[in-house]
Amino acid sequence: MKLILLGPPGAGKGTQAKLLVQKFAIPQISTGDILRAAVKDGTPMGVKAKSFMDAGGLVPDEVVVGIVKERLQKDDCSNGFILDGFPRTLPQADALQDTLKSLDKNLDAVISLEVDIEALVERLTGRRSCPACGAGFHVKYEPPKQDGICDKCGAALIQRDDDREETIRNRMQVYQDQTLPLVTYYQQAGLLSKVDGMLPIGEVTVLIDALLKGLR
Ligand code: AP5
Ligand code: MG
């Protein structure tokens, strides 16, 4: 199962990827998560990425392509993987094709989560994440049992630095300008399936399940 989850900020890529990880025992490769960990650890890559991320812009292609190339070669990707937030530009998509070719692998599907951009601001401003175990929540749509506390490990939940309204607007614009062309790119490659990402989380999962069953 070699998948890409495509969609704008807040579409539900991370939420659905985590559910697929449990179901298929394949890794989620989120370039956003990898970059945030690098920023937190203060690595040279993190220092370089931070200003782009804080502004809601994209980290340079060569940085993220390098991350994904290295990650796809790890043993845990041998049965498949879920790419979440990569590729995000046409050069990244081309680089992914080259990398997969060199590893003798093919993509099985690209799932585009179709959402109404206006709903996304509420999703992102209400998002809470666990800094300890990575679990995701939403104050309204996926609330933790105890306010501000992770259900899974008990750590205090945090809000992402780039989930401020003005940064969200920039991220949406960047998505429209640089990432949206990938929908056509993968449509032309015969790999794209659209899923209604406006439905409740569980219903989106059911649609993705049905789609993946059709592939197998
Ligand atoms: P990244 O971390 O990838 O952020 P993003 O693409 O902006 O997407 P998000 O993580 O915000 O949204 P999501 O679709 O995962 O939504 P989620 O499931 O959390 O990237 C961050 C930054 O890193 C970028 O801006 C860039 O600077 C850099 N970067 C990363 N990758 C890069 C690349 N390839 N190239 C260059 N730069 C890169 O859901 C959101 C909320 O909504 C949650 O609270 C959730 O509970 C809730 N929710 C989810 N689904 C539903 C639903 N169906 N109904 C109601 N609520 C829902
Ligand atoms: Mg995400």
Q: What's the CA gap between 113 and 8, in Å, rounded?
A: 8
Residues in Cβ contact with 158 at an 8 Å cutoff, skipping those fewer than 6 apart? 128, 129, 130, 131
Sequence spans of domains, the chain: 2-26+79-115+178-215
The torsion angle over the Cα atoms of residues 158, 163, 165 and 167, rounded to 10 degrees, is 140
**36, 50, 123, 127: the active-site residue:** 127
- Concerning whether 171 is annotated as a catalytic residue, the answer is yes
Mean pLDDT value across residues 27-55: 96
* Atom in ligand 1 nearest the alpha carbon of residue 84: 3
Shortest CA distance to 153 belongs to which of 139, 141, 135, 138?
Answer: 135
- Strand runs (DSSP E) across 64-138, as ranges? 81-84, 109-114, 127-129, 136-138
How far CA 153 is from CA of 26, 27, 67, 149, in Å, comes to 22, 20, 28, 8
The pLDDT score that the predictor gives to residue 117 is: 85
Structure tokens, 113? 């989560």
- Concerning whether 127 is annotated as a catalytic residue, the answer is yes
SS3 144: coil
Ligand 1 pocket by Cβ (under 6 Å): 7, 9-15, 31-32, 35, 52-53, 56-59, 64, 85-86, 88, 92, 123-124, 126-127, 136-138, 141-142, 162, 171, 197, 200-201, 204
Residue 207: is its pLDDT beyond 90?
yes
Percent with pLDDT over 90 in the chain: 95
Kindly report the CATH number that applies to the domain delimited by 2-26+79-115+178-215. Answer: 3.40.50.300
**Sorting pLDDT into bands at 50, 70 and 90, what band is 103?**
very high
Residues in Cβ contact with 186 at an 8 Å cutoff, skipping those fewer than 6 apart? 4, 6, 93, 110, 112, 192
Question: How many other β-carbons are positioned within 10 Å of the β-carbon of residue 114?
Answer: 15
- Concerning whether 169 is annotated as a catalytic residue, the answer is no
Residue 115: is its pLDDT beyond 90?
yes
- Concerning whether 216 is annotated as a catalytic residue, the answer is no
Name the average pLDDT for the chain: 96
* Atom in ligand 1 nearest the alpha carbon of residue 30: 3
DSSP characters for 49-81?
Answer: HHHHHHTT-PPPHHHHHHHHHHHHTSGGGTT-E
Residue in the structure block whose two tokens are 């998560």? 33
The pLDDT score that the predictor gives to residue 215 is: 83
Mean pLDDT is lowest, of 42-46, 115-119, 146-150, for 115-119
Percent with pLDDT over 70 in the chain: 100
**36, 88, 123, 128: the active-site residue:** 88
* Atom in ligand 1 nearest the alpha carbon of residue 35: 23
pTM of the predicted structure, to 2 decimals: 0.95
Question: Which pLDDT tens digit goes with each residue over 152-187?
Answer: 999 999 999 999 888 999 999 999 999 999 999 999
